[in-house]
Amino acid sequence: MSIRVGFYVCHCGINIAGKVRVEEVAAFIRKLKSVVIARDYKFMCSDPGQEMIEKDIKEYDLNRVVVASCSPRLHEKTFQGACQRAGLNPYFFQMASVREQVSWVTEDPYAATAKAKTLAAAAVNRVNFHERLESRKSKVHPDVLVVGGGIAGMQAALDVAKAGNKVYLVEKDPTIGGHMLQFDKTFPTLDCAACIGTPKMVEVGQNPNIQLMTYCEVVEISGFVGNFKVKVRKKTRYIDTSKCTGCGDCAKACPVKYRPYTPEEKEKIRAHAKGADFQ
């Protein structure tokens, strides 16, 4: 089946037409391969503008549509809806932002028109490669992963937990608290950092909706929004965390002893810090 593209450039009042010569852009796109119809209109997002697209899809047997107007975040769904109402798969639509990326940021009308032509032509070329897609519904897993147990991570975990959702708080260090606990006072109130952080640490540890995973690191994330799968590496502690009280007595009997770096190891570390290659 041959590609038949319909192209539409919006004046957007004077938002676009005040800098971009939209008629010239439409005339330029009209000469491109696969383009069957190219029009300019004052407000493409209006009901008459959408009806124009729907009518042309049926009359000219269009199987691709490109609109050069504002940001896709604003009206992509609008134009996809127009395509769908005319019987065209909404994913055979492509949008070029010639307002935010051209007219609003380019002072010279000649440069703005040239740039609008380039973006519009790129959109026409891209839509040739679009394939039919179908929307589907997928269940969302409500559990939340928070990476990092500093003051921000703790507060995020507490907020989510208070909303009734399960939270997995992953921290690479043996304890949560982060850098804030290393400070004496906090800006701007000059409150004691530990006086703020410690109660939150206790609250996180006691909240039934928070599963605290300290001394762990995220190594892999897969899936998609609402259905992520995360692989977490749990580092070896050599202690029973369910019985640990944090007294520190185990350190006295620990067989792992500190060994200082040798001169050769120190030299390698210095070379690595300077960006030198070494084996």
Residue 183 counted as domain residue: yes
Task: Give me the pLDDT at residue 259, please.
Answer: 67
Q: Which two tokens stand for residue 175?
A: 């304890």
Please check whether residues 90 and 165 belong to one and the same domain.
no
Task: Give me the pLDDT at residue 278, please.
Answer: 42
Task: Give me the pLDDT at residue 261, please.
Answer: 76
CATH of the domain at 215: 3.50.50.60
Please check whether residues 54 and 123 belong to one and the same domain.
yes
CA 18 centroid distance within chain: 33
Cα of first residue to Cα of last residue in the chain, in angstroms, is 58
Please check whether residues 213 and 118 belong to one and the same domain.
no
Which of 127, 153, 177 terminates a domain? The answer is 127
Which of 72, 100, 127 terminates a domain? The answer is 127
Q: Which two tokens stand for residue 45?
A: 């997002």
Please check whether residues 172 and 67 belong to one and the same domain.
no
CB 140 within 8 A of CB 226: yes
Specify the number of domains making up the chain: 2
- Annotate 60-98 with b (16+ C-beta within 10 A) or e (fewer): eebbbbbbbbbebeebbebbbebbeebebbbbbbbbbbb
Please check whether residues 83 and 150 belong to one and the same domain.
no
Mean pLDDT split into 10-residue runs, the chain, 279 residues: 95 96 98 96 97 98 97 96 97 97 97 98 97 91 96 96 97 91 86 90 95 95 93 86 79 70 81 57
Please check whether residues 53 and 84 belong to one and the same domain.
yes
- Packing angle between helix 109-127 and helix 22-30, nearest 10 degrees? 40
CATH of the domain at 20: 3.40.50
- Please compute, for residue 220, the number of CA atoms within 13 A of its CA located in the half-sphere on the CB side: 5
Task: Give me the pLDDT at residue 184, please.
Answer: 87
Which of 98, 127, 156 terminates a domain? The answer is 127
Please check whether residues 83 and 110 belong to one and the same domain.
yes
Residue 252 counted as domain residue: no
Between the alpha carbon of residue 100 and those of residues 44, 49, 104, 116, 125, the distances in Å are 16, 20, 5, 11, 21
- Give the separation between CA 216 and CA 218, rounded to whole angstroms: 7
Residue 232 counted as domain residue: yes
Please check whether residues 120 and 154 belong to one and the same domain.
no
Give me the torsion for CA of 98, 104, 109, 112, rounded to 10°: -40
Q: Is the dihedral of CA 48, 54, 56, 59 positive or negative?
A: negative
Please check whether residues 68 and 179 belong to one and the same domain.
no
* pTM over the 0.75 mark: no
Please check whether residues 110 and 162 belong to one and the same domain.
no
Residue 71 is part of which domain span? 5-127
